Amino acid sequence: MPLTAVDIAHLLREAREAGRPGCLVTVLPDSGPDSGPPALFQSRLWVEAASHHGTLGDPALDHPACLQARQLLADERAEIVVTPLILEGSPAPDAAPVRLLFEVARPPQEMIICGGGHVGQAVARVARLLDFTVTVIDDRTDFASREKFPDPSIRLIADDFVTALRTLRLTPASHVVIVTRGHKHDEICLREVIDQPVRYLGMIGSRRRTTTIREHLRRQGVDSEHLRRVHAPIGLDIGAQTPEEIALAILAEIVMVRRGGTGRPKSSEGPMARAR
């Protein structure tokens, strides 16, 4: 069934609320003499990682379009792409390719910070610079206050960590940073969200402390796959000392995970390195 504008708006809203990316595929009209039928150009295909809706007007085109769209969804760097495709089963070996427009729609990136101390405050500031929507949780009213977080766009929750986390809808667009005032609260927060479908889950602490928490959770029956998802100790190793430097290391790791980077210095493979 062809997608109407109302259908597309509904699918976009549904994906956004669920924290899922989607891709709208459109056939670009060809003004040449071999251009296809006008009806083909009015069709749309909405593609997500595990489903699709609509049609491009030709089943032989829908399948490769879905494959291409899912490749783009898996690449966080892709936004708008025009790709020529040959219709599957085309009788003419030299048939002109059909140009497809792929428009990737990604949900807003969300940051949930457990802990309103110095590191949590610094993480919130850097996250806002990177256009994350930010929620801060702390069970101490003084640490979930506008005095600590003057930016009115930052959502503050002053409540028990478990109670607060259970009020949130965690999605594949969620990034959880656990930086509470002690390992007991860190473990409580981690246990609550470790099986949630979040994009990033990191916990502060020394290597010894995070190892202790990991083994404790393992003995409680937490699945090894869930434990392997946790970035702990949190952040890239840049020698960070101050809260601001620690926040930079944390956000750098989050960007690396999101964009598929390596974390290696770019200069290590550059022309200056070869000249050394």
The pLDDT of residue 90: 52
pLDDT grade for 81, boundaries at 50, 70 and 90: confident
Grouping H, G, I as helix, E, B as strand and the rest as coil, residue 182 is: coil
The pLDDT of residue 39: 46
pLDDT grade for 83, boundaries at 50, 70 and 90: confident
CATH architecture of 110-259: 3-Layer(aba) Sandwich (3.40)
Higher model confidence: residue 86 or residue 34?
86
Higher model confidence: residue 156 or residue 44?
156
Distance linking the first and last C-alpha atoms of the chain: 62
Residue 252 has pLDDT above 60, yes or no: yes
Beta-carbon count within 10 A of 60 CB: 15
Q: Could you tell me the residue ranges of all domains in the chain?
A: 5-105, 110-259
The pLDDT of residue 178: 98
Residue 107 has pLDDT above 60, yes or no: yes
How many residues in total does the chain contain? Answer: 276
Lowest mean pLDDT among 34-38, 65-69, 121-125, 201-205: 34-38
Lowest mean pLDDT among 75-89, 117-131, 227-241: 75-89
Q: How far is CA 65 from the centre of its chain?
A: 23
The pLDDT of residue 274: 64
In angstroms, the Cα distances linking 210 to 117, 169, 199, 213, 243 are 19, 26, 20, 5, 19
Residue 130 has pLDDT above 60, yes or no: yes
Residue 37 has pLDDT above 70, yes or no: no
In contact, 234 and 253? CB cutoff 8 Å: yes
pLDDT grade for 260, boundaries at 50, 70 and 90: confident
Provide the pairing of β-strand 133-138 with 155-158.
parallel
Q: What gap in Å lies between CA 272 and CA 63, rounded to an integer?
A: 46
pLDDT grade for 21, boundaries at 50, 70 and 90: very high
Q: What gap in Å lies between CA 204 and CA 231, rounded to an integer?
A: 9
pLDDT grade for 57, boundaries at 50, 70 and 90: confident
pLDDT tens digit sequence for 168-190: 999 999 999 999 999 999 999 99
In contact, 195 and 227? CB cutoff 8 Å: no
Tokens of 3: 């997608």
Helices 183-193 and 207-219, packing angle to 10 deg: 50
Residue 97 has pLDDT above 50, yes or no: yes
Higher model confidence: residue 275 or residue 243?
243
pLDDT, mean over the chain:
89
% the chain with pLDDT above 70: 88
